């Protein structure tokens, strides 16, 4: 089992599935880590639109409100 915790103040539709797909590509050795960093810095779609299937992905928690500073 692999657990990936993703935290943000907002998400775009399908964003977490794309993040998981990128991590899977790196884990399989199909993409270098540097390519992920470059993709994050770019505003262009990356990795040919790779999206992880929803099967097996699980939303564990949603926290609402602004974090205390």
DSSP symbol at 68? P
Q: How confident is the model at residue 2 (pLDDT cuts 50, 70, 90)?
A: confident
Output 56 or 68, whichever has higher pLDDT.
56
Q: Tens digits of per-residue pLDDT, 10-58?
A: 778 888 888 889 999 999 999 999 998 898 888 777 887 888 888 888 8
Q: What secondary structure does DSSP assign to 6-51, as a single string? A: ---S---TTHHHHHHHHHHHHHTTSS-HHHHHHHHH-SS--GGG--
Q: Is pLDDT above 80 for 66? A: no
């Amino acid at each position: 089992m692999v657990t990936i915790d993703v935290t943000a103040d907002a998400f775009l539709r399908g964003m977490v599935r794309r993040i998981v797909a990128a991590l899977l590509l790196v884990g399989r050795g199909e993409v270098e880590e540097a390519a992920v960093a470059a993709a994050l810095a770019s505003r262009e779609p990356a990795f040919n639109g790779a999206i992880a299937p929803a099967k097996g992905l699980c939303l564990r928690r949603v926290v609402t409100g602004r974090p205390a500073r």
